[in-house]
Structure 1
Amino acid sequence: MRIFLCFIFISLLPCNSFSDEEEQSPLESLRETLLYGIESEIIEAVKNVRESREERLDEDIETLLEETVSVAVRSAVLDYFTALKYRGAEETALNLLEQTEVENAGLIIDLIKYLSEIKSDKVAEYLAEAIDEQNSRISLAAIKALGSSESQENGQLLLDRLQDEEYPDKLKPELILALGELAYKPALEELTKIAQNRDAERVWRMYACDSLGKIGDNESIQVFKDIFSEGNALLTIYAASALSNYSMSEVEDLLIQGLKNSNVRVRIAAARGLANKEATKAVKVLIYKARRDPQKLVKLQAIESLGQIGSTEAVDFLLELFSDKKQSPDVMETALCTLVDNHLNSSLSTIKEVIDREWPEKDQKTIELIGKKLSQTEHGGL
């Protein structure tokens, strides 16, 4: 009987044994998971922190990076810190980089990416050695990091390896790109030789065009002209893209020639290269392309480029195109987006006219399209 009464008494007491867990805030719940969870739970918690942008846990995650023995957890943390450009874990990452064996190449690459993203000056010495690492995944990551370092001091190291006949050829395309990322002018002569060499690997020549464009020396324009004349479509695409880095007064005529190329990707690259306020000479040919090019992607790029040029003739054409019921939905949408993004004030009256015209129609796709775009736009006139 006493046992029974005791049971009844206990059952009547307030049950608080799990109240702490029930009242626990989401922040504390995440912190506990980071501290005590199993590997898969911790990785999911880091993902949740990233999605919720809960930066109050960054120091806890930094401690996790230092203390965990799980490579998967460290990679998840580094991916988060890289996206956030969180500088607080720099010393921890540098220490891990020195301690991690080459066999863990994936972790080394994640550490390099993180330190590169936060522009760590302290990783330069490690990278200078890592570009000669036998594991090509690590050496490629080091080359990319040196290229994105913004330090001209790293340029000569990259150029030396490019000119070294004993350095692995499979790594040289990345060296070529890295020199362009640095805009390293002393590499001009070597890059020009590669771009002009018809016997060189095509990917080397394409990347050399890309890097010459990023360096932006006017003497390279002749290289691009020669490639246009060569008739190699892939090379011409890279040359056309590179020309967008130059003053339109120097390259507009060449890009206009690119619009007439039989290869659709060359025409797209040329049209994209002309997306510049200075490219007023190209307006008429871009209007022609927007109206009559046989490939839709060329038409759409021509429309976008006209919006960027923004001359009266270009904007008037885009307004006409948008208000033309006979145009395809893709063309109307691209014209609308280009006008709203670049010339909303001068487009509002035409947009209202189209709304009034389409409002009674059964098919409301145009109204929906306009509503969606305008709802994403902040403007005093809306």
Structure 2
Amino acid sequence: MKIHYAAVALSFFVLQPFCRAPAGMNASAFAQSASTSSAQSAVPAGTSNEGIPRNKKIVRIPEAKRPAAPDREKSEKAALSDKSSDTVKEYRDTFRYGVSPEITSLLQKCIDNDDPRFSDDAYDLFQTTRSSQVREKILEYFTHLKDPCLEDYAVGVLDDPYDTKNSTVEAVFRYVSAVKSKEALPAVLALLDTDSDAYFQAALTTIGEIGGPEEAQYLAGYIDRDDLTVVQKQALARVLGKLHATETWAKLVSIAQNEDENAFVRMYAAEAIGAMQKSESIPILAELYESSDPNFRQYVIKGLSHYPGSGEAKEVIMQGIRDEHYKVRLEAIAAVKKLKFTEASPYLVYRAKNDKEKVVKNACYDALASLGTKDGNAYLVEIVSDPKSGDTAKVDAAKALASQGSVGEKEMLALAGETLKDDRRKQLRYALGKLFAQYARAGYADICRDFLLSKDAATVSLGLDMYAKAKYTSAYSAVASLANDKKSGANGARARKILGMSEE
């Protein structure tokens, strides 16, 4: 393990939270010189001027390591989307011989398909590529997989980011956040005290994701700084909430209650005192909900969403579903979904029927499907099956139901069957076909076959998507028929590829 001694002396910063590195000196060097200077003062070794032990933080570059073995369940699920038996070989050839756009496109496909099978290929390419686009996309891939195999590279970049592209540094920040890299913390803390606002913001956000009590104590010293921008204050308030830095609770309460404070800083302060999960926050937030600022009310609801057992918090959240501003309604709907407040089901049904904002209607559909109450499920199924419902509403309700399982499956399949008989409803048919192609479910086998037997090429293509996802046995003969029909064009070629047949 490599050790870099150019990191922060944490206690120095805690004791002197207003210090910034002088121009032309990076924070690591500044921390080192400060530590050295303090060590020369007339105090016992290992202590500060005030008798506090100096806990010098060292940046340790982790040893290089290979990616974790691909998750078997995810690999098997991803393989269902392979177009043919040659797909894996084709992908590996792209990693070896492809140009940058081909490789980044393939990596995005792997991310979208949650496909971990190519982690070794991506890792090996990362070691040799000279393309920053490819490097950043590989970082994104391992960020998605939450695989710490690139931790050595990431910590090294954060320890000295100044000669690295900003976009790459940003990707590294996201990566260490995703993999919860504790080894990155000393380097990230040092970047808080650089002259770069971009590094400050990213470092602060990252500490909110990977920091702990020690970092919370350190950041508490920032709450009274007068040299932070409004944007930095916003980020600081949110991070202090994430870290449960309860020693700053009283200060954040005063910020949230201060109507002369910047509106956005107040919003994040309200969210933060809620995130700290102190019961004393509940009555304060309940009172703050009476604000005339809808954005502020939205963040009050965010704060209250951290109290699943509080009757007072629940009462305010339920009121939020009826708020006059759609943003507040959306936040309250998200809260009842998160907290599983089944009592909200009648409110959600009412808003789904009557709200003027489509985005609120859709949020109600999702929340109702997630809560799974009898009246909520019945309402969503009714939308799918009622001839008077609009096609857009039918699709949105079907999406919500399908995301949760098999409730309403019979009605959705019946609706899809109706559209196969009526070409005037092709758009609804296509939307339902795309939905069915997202899931490998036994109940979709017959509709897959029926799509494949359609005379409409786009419908057949969706049937192939369904088959590629789940390889339904009952639909095999329809795929084989397409594959053997030389007049079936692009769909025939796709069928042959899915079945692993040669084009010769």
Range class of TM-score, shorter chain: 0.7 to 0.9
Report matched runs for 1:103-122 at 5 Å. 107-122=168-183
Give the structure 2 partner of residue 342 of structure 1: 404
Tell me, in whole angstroms, the C-alpha distance in 2 between the residues paired with 1:361 and 1:106: 50
1:323 maps to which of 362, 385, 404: 385
Give the structure 2 partner of residue 215 of structure 1: 276
Distance 1:189-1:353 versus aligned 2 partners, 3 A rule: same
Contact 2:155 2:187 (8 Å CA) reproduced: no
Tell me, in whole angstroms, the C-alpha distance in 1 between the residues paired with 2:268 and 2:109: 39
Distance 1:254-1:159 versus aligned 2 partners, 3 A rule: same
Matched residue type, 2:120: R
State TM-score, norm by structure 1.
Answer: 0.77
Shift of 1:279: 2.2
Distance 1:111-1:310 versus aligned 2 partners, 3 A rule: closer
Residues 199-250 of structure 1: CA distance to partner in whole angstroms, max 9, x if unpaired? 1111111112332333333332223322221121111122223333331652
Tell me, in whole angstroms, the C-alpha distance in 2 between the residues paired with 1:265 and 1:128: 35
Report matched runs for 1:159-170 at 5 Å. 159-170=220-231
Report matched runs for 1:190-209 at 5 Å. 190-209=251-270
Give the structure 1 partner of residue 3 of structure 2: none
Contact 1:248 1:279 (8 Å CA) reproduced: no
1:141 partnered with 2:198: no
2:342 maps to which of 280, 283, 305: 280
1:56 partnered with 2:120: yes
1:231 partnered with 2:292: yes
1:333 maps to which of 376, 395, 410: 395
1:176 partnered with 2:237: yes
Tell me, in whole angstroms, the C-alpha distance in 2 between the residues paired with 1:89 and 1:340: 36
Tell me, in whole angstroms, the C-alpha distance in 2 between the residues paired with 1:332 and 1:253: 31
Report matched runs for 1:1-382 at 5 Å. 30-31=95-96, 43-44=100-101, 47=104, 50-51=107-108, 54-64=118-128, 78-79=139-140, 81-101=142-162, 107-247=168-308, 250=311, 251-275=313-337, 278-342=340-404, 344-345=406-407, 347-354=408-415, 360-365=421-426, 366-382=428-444
**Identical-residue share of aligned pairs (%):** 22
Matched residue type, 2:119: E
Q: 3-state SS of the aligned residue for 2:388? A: coil
Matched residue type, 1:351: M
The answer to which structure has the higher helix fraction is 1
Matched residue type, 1:198: E
Tell me, in whole angstroms, the C-alpha distance in 1 between the residues paired with 2:316 and 2:279: 14
Contact 2:173 2:206 (8 Å CA) reproduced: yes
Contact 1:152 1:184 (8 Å CA) reproduced: yes
Tell me, in whole angstroms, the C-alpha distance in 1 between the residues paired with 2:92 and 2:354: 57
Shift of 1:133: 0.8
Shift of 1:303: 2.2
Shift of 1:146: 1.0
Q: Give ranges in structure 2 of 5+ residues lacking alignment.
A: 1-88, 111-117, 445-504
Tell me, in whole angstroms, the C-alpha distance in 2 between the residues paired with 1:362 and 1:45: 37
Matched residue type, 1:258: G
Contact 2:349 2:364 (8 Å CA) reproduced: yes
Distance 1:257-1:277 versus aligned 2 partners, 3 A rule: closer
Q: Answer with 348-357 or 315-324: which moved more.
A: 348-357
Residues 171-198 of structure 1: CA distance to partner in whole angstroms, max 9, x if unpaired? 2211112223324333332322222221
Contact 1:277 1:309 (8 Å CA) reproduced: no
Matched residue type, 2:352: A
State TM-score, norm by structure 2.
Answer: 0.60
Matched residue type, 1:63: Q
Q: Give ranges in structure 1 of 5+ residues lacking alignment.
A: 1-23, 34-40
Q: 3-state SS of the aligned residue for 1:265? A: helix
Q: Answer with 212-221 or 119-128: which moved more.
A: 212-221
Q: Answer with 172-181 or 72-81: which moved more.
A: 72-81
Tell me, in whole angstroms, the C-alpha distance in 2 between the residues paired with 1:273 and 1:300: 15
Q: 3-state SS of the aligned residue for 2:406? A: helix
Taking CA–CA contacts closer than 8 Å with sequence separation of 6 or more, which of the two structures ends up with the larger relative contact order? Answer: 2
Tell me, in whole angstroms, the C-alpha distance in 2 between the residues paired with 1:191 and 1:246: 18
Distance 1:319-1:193 versus aligned 2 partners, 3 A rule: same
Distance 1:150-1:344 versus aligned 2 partners, 3 A rule: farther
Contact 1:259 1:268 (8 Å CA) reproduced: yes
Q: 3-state SS of the aligned residue for 2:289? A: helix
Tell me, in whole angstroms, the C-alpha distance in 1 between the residues paired with 2:414 and 2:150: 56
Distance 1:334-1:212 versus aligned 2 partners, 3 A rule: farther
Contact 1:290 1:303 (8 Å CA) reproduced: yes
Tell me, in whole angstroms, the C-alpha distance in 1 between the residues paired with 2:150 and 2:401: 44
Residues 228-285 of structure 1: CA distance to partner in whole angstroms, max 9, x if unpaired? 2112111112222333333165233222222222212222222222225742332222
Q: What is the aligned length?
A: 347
Distance 1:367-1:109 versus aligned 2 partners, 3 A rule: closer
Distance 1:99-1:342 versus aligned 2 partners, 3 A rule: closer
Give the structure 1 partner of residue 461 of structure 2: none
Quote the RMSD (CA, aligned, Å).
3.4
Q: Answer with 289-298 or 24-33: which moved more.
A: 24-33
